[in-house]
């Protein structure tokens, strides 16, 4: 191995090589290694835009989208949905939670009020749209994990036999990695851009998300559980016959910058790439984020300082002293600030508080220094989430201090955390505030140079 003693099994494998997708349904569904029975069915989708009814009695249909369950059963705009499978519906979140349990092909009964009269609509659940690729083929599979399986999605480039592959390690929160319903999202465009360069991309859903079925729900897991899920994905990926197991690269996006080095403990990889991350302790990062984001929004500096001082005792006790929300809630002086961070279980409304406790203990630079593979850190010039580009330089410097030349960093001009371009950081903040930063803008302004830059680095390593 190339690296310091005790380095993780993340190696440069070039010498070893010398020795030896709401819109379309047309993807391939299979398990690449039929070592276990298929567990995962496609989850269902309603296929409608909804809004609450002011009196809280039911949910109004704003628009019915083609190809979904709503269209199949005959739901119409302006219908008020009051029951689903004989269960009353009161709010949109309640209905969304119910839809999350649907599986394609199941019978569904909807009771609606149409033109002031009740009607019953019957049919079968239509599965969520599946990804397609203009650049290659999409293979839906599964990775055994935690008493069930994680949905996996492998996109292979056209005409390339056993290509190199990037394992996507995503950011924080519980959201799907399946872009069938959002084919123009910047993340899907990133995948397509990579595949167009002759490199495969492998993704897995987080536990409990998308089609996945697992014992532990996404919002209930700690950081170790999420890392274990991606380690299982890495080990599974190494066995797939369609890719070159000696040319697997990890790509950490956002929170994935922190977790990717931990994922690399499971098996050798050819390199690690990072976008939009952190180099300091998580505590320091949150305090800086609190100051700098408010300053960029134009808030008064004295008011910002007062806000930081009000929240600092909570952040200190939570991250540095590792105290639980329950413990902090017993202190009257912390109650108001604490309520801005947690409901008692979730932190930042994203993950179980234990996930963020784990983050508070991470030594990010030490984890990167343990790696023995090449490292590339990429910083978007206008990344409001990472705040600046210095994190990328710091990680690369920490690696190069023990393995000179093993890491490089680069700033990607005019680019945000989510891979779209903006004129300036000030413009980005203003566009978020006034609503111009919508899905359409992000899709139209995807920076297509990012996947080209990533692919060029992969070819060199």
Please list, residue by residue across 273-282, b when 16 or more beta carbons sit within 10 angstroms of its beta carbon and e when fewer do. bbbbbbbebb
Is the pLDDT at 11 greater than 70? The verdict is no
What does the pLDDT average to over 340-346? 94
Tell me the mean pLDDT in the region 31-49. 69
pLDDT for residue 7 is more than 70: no
Distances (CA, A) of 448 to 164, 167, 196, 372, 431: 20, 19, 11, 30, 21
Percent of the residues in the chain that have a pLDDT greater than 70, as a whole number = 91
Return the pLDDT at 17: 32
Q: Is the pLDDT of residue 280 over 50?
A: yes
Contact status, residue 414 vs residue 447, Cβ threshold 8 Å? yes
When pLDDT is averaged across residues 236-244 and rounded to a whole number, the result is 97
Which CATH architecture is the domain 48-124 placed in? Roll (2.30)
Stretch(es) of the chain classified as CATH 2.30.42.10: 48-124
Compute CA distances 273 → 269, 331, 382, 461, whole Å: 11, 42, 19, 11
For 355, the token pair is 């996930």
Residue 36: pLDDT band by 50, 70, 90 thresholds?
very low
Amino acid 27: pLDDT: 29
The answer to whether residue 129 scores a pLDDT higher than 60 is yes
For the residues 321-341, what does the mean pLDDT come to? 95
Q: How far does Cα 344 stand from its chain's mean position?
A: 23
**Residue 188 burial class via C-beta count within 10 angstroms: exposed 0-12, middle 13-18, buried 19 and up:** buried
Name the one residue in this structure whose structure tokens are 């989430």: 385
Query: What is residue 138's predicted lDDT score, i.e. its pLDDT?
Result: 97
Q: Which neighbouring-strand residues pair with 202?
A: 154, 167
Residue 156: per-residue pLDDT: 98
Taking only the tens place, the pLDDT of each residue in 165-206 is 999 999 999 999 999 989 999 999 999 999 999 999 999 999
pLDDT for the residue 38: 61
pLDDT mean across residues, the chain: 90
pLDDT tens column, 99-118 = 888 999 999 999 999 999 99
pLDDT of residue 225: 97
DSSP of 99-112: HTT-BTT-EEEEEE
Rounded Cα gap, residues 111 and 122, in angstroms: 9
CA distance 22 to 35: 31
Q: How many CB atoms sit inside 10 A of residue 322's CB?
A: 13
The residues, any chain, with a CB within 8 Å of residue 113's CB and separated by 6 or more, are 58, 79, 80, 82, 119
Please give the pLDDT value at position 279: 98
The pLDDT value recorded for residue 4 is 33
pLDDT given at position 56: 65
pLDDT of residue 20: 30
- Count Cβ atoms below 10 Å from residue 323 Cβ, excluding itself: 18
Cβ atoms of 201 and 42 within 8 Å: the answer is: no
pLDDT value, residue 94: 83
- Residues ≥6 apart with Cβ < 8 Å to 338: 314, 325, 328, 329
Q: What is the mean pLDDT of residues 330-340?
A: 94
Identify each DSSP E strand in 185-289 by its residue range.
Answer: 200-204, 248-253, 271-275
Query: Is residue 269 a contact partner of residue 373, using CB atoms and an 8 Å limit?
Result: yes
Pairing of strands 48-52, 271-275: unpaired
91 or 265: whose pLDDT is higher?
Answer: 265
Alpha-carbon distances of 38 from 125, 149, 236, 255, 269, rounded to whole Å = 20, 9, 15, 30, 28
pLDDT cut 90: percent of the chain above it: 81
Instruction: Say yes or no to pLDDT of 163 above 90.
Output: yes
Identify the residue with better confidence: 92 or 368. 368
Q: Return the pLDDT at 6.
A: 37
Average pLDDT over residues 271-289: 97
Tokens 């290509």 label which residue? 163
């Amino acid at each position: 191995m190339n690296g310091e003693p005790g380095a993780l099994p993340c190696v440069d494998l070039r010498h070893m090589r010398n020795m030896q997708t709401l819109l379309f349904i047309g993807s391939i569904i299979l398990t690449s290694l039929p070592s276990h029975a298929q567990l995962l069915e496609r989850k269902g989708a309603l296929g409608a835009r909804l809004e609450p009814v002011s009196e809280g009695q039911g949910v109004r249909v704003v628009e019915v989208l083609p190809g979904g369950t709503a269209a199949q059963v005959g739901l119409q705009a302006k219908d008020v949905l009051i029951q689903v499978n004989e269960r009353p519906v009161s709010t949109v979140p309640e209905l969304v939670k119910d839809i999350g349990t649907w599986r394609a092909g199941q019978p569904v009964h909807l009771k609606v009020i149409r033109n002031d009269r009740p009607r019953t609509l019957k049919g079968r659940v239509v599965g969520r749209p599946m990804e397609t690729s203009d650049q290659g083929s999409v293979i839906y599979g599964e990775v055994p994990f935690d008493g069930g399986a994680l949905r996996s999605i492998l996109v292979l480039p056209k005409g390339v036999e056993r290509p190199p592959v990037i394992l996507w390690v995503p950011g924080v929160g519980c959201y799907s990695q399946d872009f069938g319903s959002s084919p123009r999202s910047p993340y899907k465009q990133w995948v397509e851009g990579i595949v167009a360069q002759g490199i495969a991309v492998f993704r897995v859903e987080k536990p409990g998300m998308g089609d996945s079925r697992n014992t532990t729900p996404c919002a209930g897991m700690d950081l170790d559980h999420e890392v274990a899920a991606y380690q299982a994905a890495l080990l599974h990926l190494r066995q797939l016959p369609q890719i070159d197991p000696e040319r697997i690269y990890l790509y950490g996006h956002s929170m994935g910058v922190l977790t990717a080095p931990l994922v690399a403990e499971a098996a050798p990889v050819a390199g690690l790439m990072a976008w939009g991350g952190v180099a300091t302790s998580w505590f320091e990062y949150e305090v800086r984020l609190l100051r700098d984001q408010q300053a960029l929004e134009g808030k008064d500096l004295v008011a910002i300082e007062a806000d930081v001082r009000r929240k600092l005792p909570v952040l200190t006790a939570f991250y540095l002293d590792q105290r639980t929300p329950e413990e902090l809630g017993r202190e009257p002086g912390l109650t108001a600030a604490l309520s801005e961070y947690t409901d008692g279980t979730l932190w930042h409304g994203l993950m179980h508080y234990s996930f963020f406790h784990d983050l508070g203990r991470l030594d990010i630079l030490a984890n990167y220094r343990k790696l023995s593979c090449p490292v590339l850190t990429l910083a978007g010039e206008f990344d409001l989430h990472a705040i600046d580009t210095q994190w990328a330089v710091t990680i690369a410097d920490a690696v190069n201090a023990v393995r000179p030349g093993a890491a490089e960093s680069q700033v990607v001009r005019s680019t945000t955390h989510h891979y779209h371009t903006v004129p300036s950081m000030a413009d980005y903040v203003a566009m978020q505030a006034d609503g111009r930063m919508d899905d359409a803008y992000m899709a139209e302004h995807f920076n297509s140079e990012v996947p080209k830059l990533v692919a060029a680095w992969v070819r060199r390593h």
